Amino acid sequence: MASGIFAVLDDIAALMDDVAVASKLATQKTAGILGDDLAVNAEKATGFLASRELPVLWAITKGSFVNKLIIVPIALILNAIFPIAIKYILILGGVYLAYEGVEKIIHYISHRKKKGHEVIQEEVNQGEVAENAKIKSAITTDFILSVEIVIIALGTVLDQALAIQILTVSVVAILATVGVYGIVALIVRMDDMGHGLIKRSNDKGLAAKFGHLLVKLLPIIIKALAIIGTIALLMVSGGIFVHNIDYFHHFLPQVPSLVKEIGIALLIGALALGLVTVAKGLFGKKTAKP
């Protein structure tokens, strides 16, 4: 009886070793997309009133966990019974990311910069509706990026047993959410940490200087993340198109891959935005009629 228990424990230990090795490889493979995920979601989790930053981030984090709970089993099932579907799901997700990236660029170009009191008044007027809309947008984008992360992680263990596939993909999915949103939480609370250091040091010494630095860096980082996040959306979507559509994969081979991916993403995003705008105009007019 004892020998049977020890044999089971040995099997479990061996399985965990295999999962650890596979998870490390999968994490390395998804490092790029995790960086993009961080940039995109950090930008989406900022811009709220200080008192609402952590509640909003927690709402997005819970949505991210739900996304993983949906994506992981579906990806494993589809990979087993209908693997080609994963490719088309990725492409559709890429269209959405390209659309959102182009929409951000158009919004930035077409809207004049608001003054401080205008931004505050806008936040007061929009309130909970704007907050919920931004949370929904962040969770939707997280869903698309999570699909990419899960598919890449799954691709690294296709030759392994089903148990290793399930555990590896699950580990990577959990690490993606905890790691990304843990770092985002640190970013959005930089100013509070800075004020805390200033207060505890009575605004004297190295701690106070570091606190002032954190406070000054936060708006710079947020602006940088807005730019990096938009570029990341286009890079991820362009990469999806180039790697999953043969025509784009062989299109303009002399052009650097990064330039080609962003260019294709801009083109498809612009087409998607145009179609959505036309559809809104047509259906909006129809619903406006008595």
pLDDT tens per residue across span 64-93: 889 889 988 888 888 888 878 878 887 888
Do the beta carbons of residue 208 and residue 197 sit within 8 Å?
yes
Portion of the chain with pLDDT greater than 90, in percent: 3
Other C-beta atoms lying within 10 Å of the C-beta of residue 183: 13
Is-above-0.85 flag for pTM? no
When mean pLDDT is compared over 36-40, 120-124, 153-157, 240-244, the highest value belongs to 240-244
Residue identified by tokens 């890449």 is 152
pLDDT tens per residue across span 203-222: 778 888 888 888 888 778 87
Q: Is the pLDDT of residue 29 over 80?
A: no
pLDDT tens per residue across span 179-208: 878 887 887 777 778 888 888 888 778 888
Q: Where are the domains of the chain?
A: 43-188
With vertex at residue 9, the alpha carbon angle to CA 8 and CA 12, rounded to the nearest 5 degrees, is 90
Mean pLDDT score across all residues of the chain: 75
In terms of Cα–Cα distance, which of 98, 79, 243 is closest to 153? 79
